[in-house]
């Protein structure tokens, strides 16, 4: 009986993080409603392997989009930025190309939305990350700076 109760509690906890993007304006993007999921590269990680980064949950999607779709998605991310605790954004012309958004915490769990759109000449490569954990904005900056220096 104790095992069943434990399994149910664990399932409820995981279900909560799996739907952490609900309530976001860009939630339809994660659900494949704007760009089909078969055209996305999706990464989802939770648990101990994320502890190094002070995160409990990581969900990332990357896909290629035409300009019309990129503008639509950027508007969704900007709407989320408008409701955020804090955010940093960059634009190329009128198009949002970068955002690091600190969302309202869920209980004591910090939540972030990260967005990047890069032109590859004829289309846009879009990456959106949803992160949960005890990581601070400074932790994320440090992590992203290390990643950027590795790519150079």
What letter does residue 36 receive in the DSSP assignment? -
Question: Residues 39-92: pLDDT tens digits?
Answer: 999 999 998 888 889 999 999 999 999 999 999 999 999 999 998 999 999 999
Nearest Cα residue to 68 out of 114, 35, 113: 35
CB 42 within 8 A of CB 61: yes
Dihedral Cα 116, 121, 122, 127, nearest 10 deg: -10
pLDDT in tens, 111-152: 999 999 999 888 999 999 999 999 999 988 887 776 666 665
80 phi, psi to nearest 5 deg: -65, -40
Residue holding tokens 């739907």? 19
The torsion region of residue 121 among left (phi > 0), alpha (psi -120 to 50) and beta comes to left
* pLDDT at residue 8 tops 50: no
């Amino acid at each position: 009986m104790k095992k069943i109760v434990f399994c149910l509690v664990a399932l409820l906890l995981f279900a909560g993080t799996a739907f952490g993007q609900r309530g976001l304006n860009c939630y339809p993007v994660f659900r494949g409603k704007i760009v089909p999921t078969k055209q996305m590269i999706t990464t989802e990680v939770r648990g101990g392997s994320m502890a190094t980064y002070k995160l409990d949950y990581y969900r990332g999607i990357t896909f290629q989009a035409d300009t019309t779709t990129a503008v639509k998605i950027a508007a969704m991310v900007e709407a989320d930025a408008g409701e955020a605790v804090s955010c940093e954004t960059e634009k190329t012309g009128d198009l949002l190309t970068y955002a690091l958004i600190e969302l309202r915490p869920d209980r004591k769990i910090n939540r972030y939305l990260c967005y990047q759109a890069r032109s590859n000449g004829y289309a846009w490569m879009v990456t959106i990350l949803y992160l949960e954990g005890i990581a601070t904005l400074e932790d994320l900056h440090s992590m992203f700076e290390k990643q950027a220096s590795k790519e150079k």
